Amino acid sequence: MDWMIFKRVLGSGAKSFMRGGAVSAATVLIMTVTLSIIGSLIFLSALLTFTLDTIKDKVDVSVYFVTSASEADILSVKSQIEKLPQVANVSYTSAEDALAAFRERHATDQLTLQALDELGGNPLDASLEIRAKDPSEYESIVQFLEASPALSSGGTSIIDRINYAQNKEVINRLSVAIKATREIGFAVVILFAIASILIAFATVRLAIYVARDEIAVMRLVGASGAYVQGPFIVTGVITGIIAASIVLLLLWPMTWYAGMRSSDWFGGFNVAAYYGHHFIEVFLLLMLSGIALGAVASVLAIRKYLKV
């Protein structure tokens, strides 16, 4: 297809869209609804990811050390754990810091503070809080600690206890929830993508049905399939671009309103801020989705009328 024919196809597709009137408007409307669903899935996926990351940040495994353990030995253990590829970060809490935090938490409980003072010392242990890159990796980290216990200079283990057993059920549930959410999210995206193509196909086919006689005449006079398809593909692409532009414009006031009202509900996730920070990605995804849906639906819808 040379440049002149290409220009003719583009012009014919644009004119066909303008002449379509109510049919073109209806196609744009349906495509707008379809792309709105895709846009909603983008924000839903971002919200789920944010929520799961927030939950993951609150789950960790604590390793408590015997009161006789020296800070140097504990920091040596910390260094070993940080080298593990499964570990995201490790934080150290000294016995003194643990005692200060305990007193602060029970500042209004005079009975507890009095009992603590009567002990005449610090009964709390120093600890390491270990956060894994993925909740499913906590078990391997604990197995490493149990298989290679840290030893003090005296030859005895300085690890008093590990709270993995208490957190294991929560960690396992979180791992299952993350896996299920990812699988369900992927399935929902595929389902809506198929539904979007079918809806776009039905509406574009309606527009092509109106021009079926024109298509038949073009085929009878020897026009190639590509030349016949071209204007309708252009019309589908124009439809997708317009629909995507409408959705992108509508998302600004919608996300701004939702961001003000729902940020507290979603644990700090602000859809307006997300949209602003990821506008380029959302723009490209919706625009490419609109173009692809319009083009693919046009190709599928016109195939029936290419047989003369």
Q: What is the pLDDT of residues 124-133, one digit of tens each?
A: 778 888 888 8
| 308 has pLDDT over 50 | no
Amino acid, single-letter form, for residue 295: A
Specify the residue for token string 């002449």: 19
Angle at 210 between CA 206 and CA 216, to 5 degrees: 115
Is domain 67-157 in CATH 3.30.70.3040, yes or no? yes
What pLDDT does 225 receive?
A: 61
What pLDDT does 4 receive?
A: 67
| Burial label, 119 (beta-carbon count in 10 A; 0-12, 13-18, 19+) | exposed
Separation of CA 95 from chain center: 39
The pTM score is: 0.64
Task: Read off the tokens for 149.
Answer: 């216990």
| 290 has pLDDT over 80 | yes
| 154 has pLDDT over 60 | no
Q: What is the pLDDT of residues 179-220, one digit of tens each?
A: 777 777 677 767 766 776 676 677 667 766 766 667 667 666
Query: What's the rounded Cα separation, in Å, for the pair 304 and 308?
Result: 9
What pLDDT does 90 receive?
A: 87
DSSP string, the chain: --HHHHHHHHHHHHHHHHHTTHHHHHHHHHHHHHHHHHHHHHHHHHHHHHHHHHHHHT--EEEEE-TT--HHHHHHHHHHHHTSTTEEEEEEE-HHHHHHHHHHHTTT-HHHHHHHHHHTS--PPPEEEEEESSGGGHHHHHHHHHHS--B-TTSSB-EEEETHHHHHHHHHHHHHHHHHHHHHHHHHHHHHHHHHHHHHHHHHHHHHHHTHHHHHHHHHTT--HHHHHHHHHHHHHHHHHHHHHHHHHHHHHHHHHHHHHHTTTTTT--HHHHHHHTHHHHHHHHHHHHHHHHHHHHHHHHGGGG--
* Separation of first and last alpha carbons in the chain: 22
Q: Which of 129, 205, 159, 128 is nearest to 65 (CA)?
A: 159
How crowded is residue 170: how many other Cβ atoms within 10 Å of its Cβ? Answer: 13
Query: What's the rounded Cα separation, in Å, for the pair 285 and 279?
Result: 10
Question: Structural domain boundaries of the chain?
Answer: 3-55+174-306, 67-157
Separation of CA 131 from chain center: 21
| 261 has pLDDT over 50 | yes
Q: What is the pLDDT of residues 12-69, one digit of tens each?
A: 667 766 766 776 777 788 788 878 888 887 887 787 778 777 777 767 788 888 877 7
Handedness of CA 55, 57, 58, 61 (dihedral sign): positive
In this prediction, residues 68-88 reach a mean pLDDT of: 84
Which one is predicted more confidently, 156 or 35?
Answer: 35
| 259 has pLDDT over 60 | yes
